[in-house]
């Protein structure tokens, strides 16, 4: 039995869905249906039960159902251990999204204390070869599952950095202004880095202990700026002040956790993940997500929600069946999508299967 599960999901005027209601049990949810019926949109709605912009990194305005343009709302009943809570998140005509938990207005950050969610979507197929930003986000999503303060630390850091960047652009040279901001940045930066490093250690350990068809990766936190980033905030603040001249020339902050990157090596072959085959790269991500699940369960007793968009179709039968076994063994409520029901045959009644159909703009979901 998962310790975290969505029991009910009600979506209105969100993307292609005018009105959709899904009641589910703690088992994985396998959603199948033709292209364009709104399967990924359902996963996107689930991803918004956690802080941030969701699987597509879209703005609230982009998620508003067109052509009505009314605004959208997602309501979910979520069970975490024995606690049942109601999460509501919505946007009025595309303005910033708001959140309510058990009828109380809260910030998005509060969602991270309840819903842990990890995802794999087709756009992440190029994660290992694309820019560092995507890998950093992937690492932060894993980190947030262990450390619910991580999102807030990043917000604090980024806000202070924006202020510092403004000073740099205006070529301000007043020592005092920088010092206050750099001290704030350094305090948050140290927490961010410690949390990221700790996450890598936990995930690494959880990979080592398991032998599966999914290959393991050696992971390392690296930084675009080739200097040792101090692990205490005074030294980091000092480093920022040393960088000031260079940063004024660049017009932005060059050193800090905003330039961290995740370096992965395919262990079995000792080949960097970016040079591995497309299939191997995807398998590495699956392996990391599963390791994250095991580590989180061990650490906190919580199994995160998994959103695996179109993952099943790209695995051979053996790996697909291993993936399902692993999901069921760790006991996570995974939300899986695919075009046909045969992709989920191996799950059998270990999952609830949903057929998504689009009835002229009113997408409906049929339980099998
Ligand atoms: N804001 C929006 N309003 C209305 N429809 C949208 C919006 N955004 C995306 N769509 C529609 O949603 C559909 C895609 O849904 P998606 O969940 O990606 O389908 P799939 O089932 O293939 O995963 C497309 O038909 C797209 O036009
Ligand atoms: Mg899709």
pLDDT tens by residue, 288-327: 999 999 999 999 999 999 999 999 998 999 999 999 999 9
Ligand with smallest separation from the Cα of 41:
1
Co-location of 164 and 131 in the same domain: yes
In a domain, 61, yes or no: yes
Which structure tokens are listed for 169? Answer: 């652009």
User: Is-contact 69 61, C-beta < 8 A?
Assistant: no
219 and 318 share a domain?
A: no
Non-local (6+) Cβ contacts of 59 within 8 A are: 53, 94
Q: Between 201 and 360, where is the model more confident?
A: 201
For ligand 1, what atom is nearest to the CA of residue 41? 17
Span 158-178, average pLDDT: 95
What's the domain range around 40? 1-116+302-368
Residues 332, 343 within the same domain: yes
CATH number at residue 333: 3.40.50.300
Binding pocket residue ranges, ligand 1, CB within 6 Å: 15-16, 33, 35-41, 63-66
Same domain as 264, residue 176: yes
For residues 2 and 141, state if they share a domain: no
Structure tokens given for 42: 């359902």
Whether residue 155 is found in the same domain as residue 136: yes
Q: Is residue 174 part of a domain?
A: yes
Query: How much distance in Å is there from the Cα of 56 to the middle of ligand 2?
Result: 11
Q: What is the pTM of this model?
A: 0.96
CA quadruple 120, 122, 127, 128: dihedral sign: positive
- Whether residue 121 is contained in a domain is answered as no
- Can you name the residues that pair with 335 across neighbouring β-strands? 29, 307
- Give the residue among 22, 26, 24 at the shortest CA–CA distance from 11: 22
Q: Burial, 159: exposed, middle or buried (Cβ in 10 Å; 0-12, 13-18, 19+)?
A: middle
Identify the pLDDT of residue 29. 97
Whether the CB-CB separation of 77 and 84 falls below 8 Å is answered with yes
Same structural domain, 294 and 307: no
Report residue 366's pLDDT band, with 50, 70 and 90 as the boundaries. Answer: confident
Which backbone phi and psi does 21 adopt, to 5 degrees? -135, 125
Regarding whether 187 and 90 lie in a shared domain, the answer is: no
Give yes or no: residues 36 and 79 share one domain. Answer: yes
Same domain for 251 and 164: yes
Cα(39) to centroid of ligand 2, in Å? 5
Cα(5)–Cα(9) distance, rounded to whole angstroms?
11
The whole-angstrom separation of Cα 27 and Cα 18 is 26
Distance CA 170, CA 251 (A): 9
Q: Quick one: 136 and 248 in the same domain?
A: yes
Residue at a domain's end among 255, 274, 299: 299
- pLDDT for the residue numbered 361: 67
Determine, yes or no, domain membership for 333: yes
Picking from 248, 282, 299, the residue at the C-terminal end of a domain is 299
The best mutation among 38, 55, 358 to test binding of ligand 1, ranked by most ligand atoms within 8 Å of the C-beta, falls on 38
Given pLDDT bands bounded at 50, 70 and 90, which one contains residue 358?
A: confident
Q: How close is the Cα of 163 to the center of ligand 1, in Å?
A: 37
pLDDT value, residue 212: 73
Say how many domains are in the chain: 2
Counting ligand 1 atoms within 8 A of each CB, the residue from 16, 20, 57, 74 with the most, and so the one to mutate, is 16
Average pLDDT of the chain to the nearest whole number: 94
**Going by CA atoms, what residue is nearest to atom 24 of ligand 1?**
36
Report the residue among 30, 36, 44, 338 best suited for mutation to probe ligand 1: largest number of ligand atoms under 8 A from its CB: 36
Give the separation between CA 228 and CA 243, rounded to whole angstroms. Answer: 13
pLDDT level of residue 7 (50, 70, 90 thresholds): very high
pLDDT, tens only, 119-162: 999 999 999 999 999 999 999 999 999 999 999 999 999 999 99
**pLDDT per residue as tens digits for the range 74-108:** 999 999 999 999 999 999 988 999 999 999 999 99
Q: What is the mean pLDDT of residues 200-211?
A: 87
Residue 235 lies in a domain: yes
Please work out, in degrees rounded to the nearest 5, the angle formed at the alpha carbon of residue 29 by the alpha carbons of 46 and 34: 85
Q: Residue 174 belongs to a domain with what CATH number?
A: 1.20.1050.90
Question: For 349, phi and psi rounded to 5 degrees?
Answer: -85, 15
Residue 357 within a domain: yes
Q: What are phi and psi of 160, to 5 degrees?
A: -65, -40
Same domain, 89 and 179: no
| Residue that finishes a domain, picked among 299, 314, 340 | 299
Q: At what angle do helices 233-250 and 175-208 cross, to 10 degrees?
A: 110
Can you say whether the dihedral through the CA atoms of 110, 114, 118, 122 is positive or negative? Answer: negative
């Amino acid at each position: 039995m998962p310790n975290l599960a969505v029991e009910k999901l009600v979506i209105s005027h969100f993307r292609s869905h005018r009105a959709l209601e899904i009641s589910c049990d703690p088992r994985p949810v396998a959603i199948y249906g033709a292209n364009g019926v709104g399967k990924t949109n359902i996963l996107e709605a689930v991803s918004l039960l956690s802080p941030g912009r969701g699987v597509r990194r879209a703005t609230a305005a982009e998620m508003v159902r067109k052509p009505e343009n009314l605004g959208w709302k997602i309501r979910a009943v979520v069970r975490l251990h024995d606690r049942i809570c109601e999460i509501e998140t919505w946007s009025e005509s595309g303005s910033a999204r708001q959140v309510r938990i058990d009828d109380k207005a809260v910030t998005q950050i509060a969602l991270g204390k309840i819903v842990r969610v990890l995802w794999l979507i087709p756009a992440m197929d190029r994660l290992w070869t694309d820019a560092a930003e995507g890998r950093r986000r992937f690492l932060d999503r894993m980190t947030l599952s262990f450390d619910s303060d991580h999102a807030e630390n990043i917000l604090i850091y980024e806000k202070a950095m924006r202020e510092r960047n403004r000073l740099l652009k205006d070529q301000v040279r007043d020592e005092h202004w920088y010092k206050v901001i750099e001290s704030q940045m350094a305090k948050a930066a140290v927490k961010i880095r410690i949390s990221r490093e700790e996450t890598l250690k936990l995930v690494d350990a959880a990979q080592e202990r398991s032998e599966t068809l999914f290959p393991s990766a050696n992971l390392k936190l690296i930084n675009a700026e080739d200097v040792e980033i101090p692990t205490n905030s005074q030294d980091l603040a000092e480093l920022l002040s040393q960088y000031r001249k260079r940063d004024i020339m660049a017009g932005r902050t060059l050193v800090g956790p905003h330039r961290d990157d995740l370096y992965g090596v395919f262990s079995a072959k000792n080949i960097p993940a970016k040079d591995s085959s497309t299939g191997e790269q995807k398998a590495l991500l699956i392996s990391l997500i599963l390791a994250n699940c095991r580590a989180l369960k061990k650490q906190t007793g919580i199994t995160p929600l998994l959103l695996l968009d179109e993952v099943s179709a790209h695995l051979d039968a053996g790996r697909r069946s291993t993936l399902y076994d692993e999901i069921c063994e760790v006991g996570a409520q995974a939300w899986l999508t695919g075009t046909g029901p045969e992709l989920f045959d191996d799950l059998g009644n270990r999952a609830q299967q949903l057929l998504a159909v689009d009835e002229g703009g009113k997408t409906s979901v049929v339980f099998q």
